[in-house]
Amino acid sequence: MRSTIVLVALVFSGAVACGGAISADPGDGGADTEGDAPVRPETSVEGGVIPEAGGCGWGACSAGTSCSDGCNTCYCESSGRWSCTTMWCEDTGPLPDTGLPPWDVEPPPPDTWPSCPSYQPAEGTWCPGALSCSYPNSCGLLNFASCYDYGGRWKVSVTPCPGACPSTLPKTGTSCSAPAKCEYPKPCGSWDFAYCNTGTGRWETSITPCPPPPPPPPPPSCPTTVPKHGSACASPWVSCAWNNGCGSLIHGSCESGSWWISDTGCVPGCPSSKPPSGTACKPPSSTACTYLTSSGPDGYCASSCFCAEDYRWACLPGECSSSGGGWADAGTPWDPDGGPSYDADY
């Protein structure tokens, strides 16, 4: 504890010089003769060591030493601290400006009290007085800086920013320090959610089921009648066929949203519909008549009929084509040269 030593102004038999004689009159403690400089009343003061300060009564001292600044007398205690009188002559000037106030200086008026720095101070740096300050951090939360006394050191409390949401939905019950809510979109259009329970420090998840998929579009189909060339169609790359009524076929395909129609023309002597095999025909011809037996968006099947030498119709079982092109065998034997064997029906 700092000790207080009051030194009497009358050190010797006379008065202490203070820029002028001081009377021993206890009534006013001031100058009694004209020309004497006014002085402050003598009071008790608590001495202290002011680091890195100079002048009598400032800084460190050696126990047992004393000094005088021409007005006050200071004595160095065994603790290495100064104890001084407070008789301060007006004409001796102010105390040395060392950047730090003496221990006996009264608190400054309210309008000069220290204020929070405009920026967050660093931990352990010098602070100007009792303060409690707050500063926003990068994530919108507050850091706090506290100073407890003049010449003290800043104590800084940094509020950590919460972690980012995991890149994928966390597992329920795993530890967390992330924001209170994270959202995870799903390819089906719904969302899953994860909540960080700050009480338990564990993830809680909410799974939103995907809506049912839309019904598949109806399968493409061929019109029952031949569409007009260039008219609109909605089933791309669908190939269809129709009988032309005179022994041949009309082909159609949906390309780029429009029908492309091709009629191969009539075959002379062919009936409008497929004749039954074995019925009479004339005259004999090697030119076959073609008739559609089935048709769909994946292809069609057609049967070829020709008038044989016995004047009877001979019809093959049929050949099928797919919408991808080419022909498929529908029960008709094929010759090695790639053509059908026309004696397959009789």
- Nearest Cα residue to 213 out of 191, 184, 188: 188
* Average pLDDT for 293-297: 73
In angstroms, the CA 320 to CA 294 distance is 9
Please tell me the predicted confidence (pLDDT) of residue 308: 87
- The range of the structural domain enclosing residue 90 comes to 1-104
* Average pLDDT for 192-207: 88
Query: Residue 195 falls within a domain, yes or no?
Result: yes
Query: Residue 217 falls within a domain, yes or no?
Result: no
φ/ψ region of 69 (left if φ > 0, alpha if ψ in -120 to 50, else beta) reads alpha
The pTM of the full predicted model, rounded to 2 decimals, is 0.34
In angstroms, the CA 289 to CA 278 distance is 15
Q: Are residues 91 and 38 both part of a single domain?
A: yes
Query: Residue 190 falls within a domain, yes or no?
Result: yes
119 vs 68, which has greater pLDDT?
Answer: 119
125 vs 162, which has greater pLDDT?
Answer: 125
Q: Are residues 179 and 146 both part of a single domain?
A: no
Please tell me the predicted confidence (pLDDT) of residue 31: 40
Query: Residue 300 falls within a domain, yes or no?
Result: yes
Q: Which H or E run contains 294?
A: strand 289-296
Q: How confident is the model at residue 342 (pLDDT cuts 50, 70, 90)?
A: very low
Q: How confident is the model at residue 37 (pLDDT cuts 50, 70, 90)?
A: very low
Q: Are residues 186 and 88 both part of a single domain?
A: no
* Full 3-state SS string of 165-231: CCCCCCCCCCECCCCCEEEEECCCCCEEEEEEECCCCEEEEECCCCCCCCCCCCCCCCCCCCCCCCC
Query: Residue 289 falls within a domain, yes or no?
Result: yes
33 vs 296, which has greater pLDDT?
Answer: 296
Q: What percent of the chain has pLDDT over 90?
A: 16
Q: Are residues 336 and 284 both part of a single domain?
A: yes
Please tell me the predicted confidence (pLDDT) of residue 88: 42
| Total structural domains within the chain | 4
Q: Are residues 244 and 331 both part of a single domain?
A: yes
- The answer, yes or no, to whether residue 26 has pLDDT greater than 90, is no
- The answer, yes or no, to whether residue 227 has pLDDT greater than 80, is yes
* Average pLDDT for 72-79: 73
Q: Are residues 93 and 135 both part of a single domain?
A: no
| Tokens read off for 260 | 């492309």
Q: Are residues 86 and 122 both part of a single domain?
A: no
- The answer, yes or no, to whether residue 45 has pLDDT greater than 50, is no
Per DSSP, the three-state class of 107 is coil
26 vs 58, which has greater pLDDT?
Answer: 58
In angstroms, the CA 333 to CA 341 distance is 6
Q: Are residues 204 and 262 both part of a single domain?
A: no
Please tell me the predicted confidence (pLDDT) of residue 128: 80
Please tell me the predicted confidence (pLDDT) of residue 65: 81
* Average pLDDT for 35-50: 38
Please tell me the predicted confidence (pLDDT) of residue 296: 67
